[in-house]
Amino acid sequence: MNVIRLKDVDLKSDDVSITTLCSHTALQIFHGAKYEGFKTVGLVESSRKWFYELFSNLIDEFIVVDSWSEICSSRVITRLRELNSVLIPHGSLVEYVGLEQVMNLPIPIFGLRSLLTVESNQHSKMELLSRAGIAIPKSYRFDDPIDTTVIVKLSGAKGGRGYFVASDNDEVAVKVNKLLVSGIIKDVSDVLIQEYVIGVPAYFHYFNSMVLNRLELLGIDIRYESNVDGLRRLPNYVLGNITPTFNIIGNLPLVIRESLLPTVMRYGMNFVDATRKYLPPGIVGPFSLESIIKDDGSIVVFEFSGRIVAGTNLYTQGSPYSSFYWDEPMSMGRRIAREIKLAIQAGKLSEVLT
Binding site for ligand AMP (CB under 6 A): 137, 151, 153, 160, 163, 194-197, 201, 223, 225, 246, 290, 292, 302-303
Give the Cα separation of 43 and 103 in Å (integer).
Answer: 17
Side-chain half-sphere CA neighbours of 164 within 13 A: 16
- Nearer to ligand AMP by C-beta: 42 or 311? 311
Comparing C-alpha atoms, which of 153, 163, 180, 157 is closest to residue 99?
Answer: 157
Query: Smallest distance from the beta carbon of 225 to ligand AMP, in angstroms?
Result: 5
DSSP letter string, 187-237: SGGGSEEEE---SEEEEEEEEEETTTTEEEEEEEEEEEEEETTTGGGS-HH
**Closest by CA position to 188, among listed 180, 196, 178:** 180
CB of 26 to ligand AMP, least distance (A): 20
Minimal CB distance residue for ligand AMP: 160
Amino acid at 1: M
Pick from 220, 224, 232, 229: nearest CA to 251 = 224
Q: Specify the residue, 292 or 344, whose C-beta has the smaller distance to ligand AMP.
A: 292
Query: Smallest gap, in angstroms, from Cβ of residue 22 to ligand AMP?
Result: 23
Residue 163 or 287 with smaller CB distance to ligand AMP: 163
Least distance to ligand AMP, CB of residue 136, Å:
8
Nearer to ligand AMP, 120 or 209 (CB): 120
Residue 229 or 339 having the CB closest to ligand AMP: 229
Sequence letter at residue 221? D
Residue 26: count other Cβ atoms within 10 Å of its Cβ: 25
Taking alpha carbons only, the member of 271, 307, 296 closest to residue 131 is 271
The least CB distance from residue 171 to ligand AMP, in Å, is 16
Let me know if 328 is exposed, middle or buried by CB neighbors in 10 A (0-12, 13-18, 19+).
Answer: exposed
How far apart are CB 174 and ligand AMP at their closest, in Å? 20
The nearest distance, CB 279 to ligand AMP, in angstroms, is 20
Report the residue number, 38 or 246, with the smaller CB distance to ligand AMP.
Answer: 246
Alpha carbon of 264 to those of 142, 210, 220, 273: distances in Å? 31, 20, 10, 14
Q: Are 344 and 335 in contact (CB under 8 A)?
A: no
Q: Which is nearer to ligand AMP, 223 or 335 (CB)?
A: 223
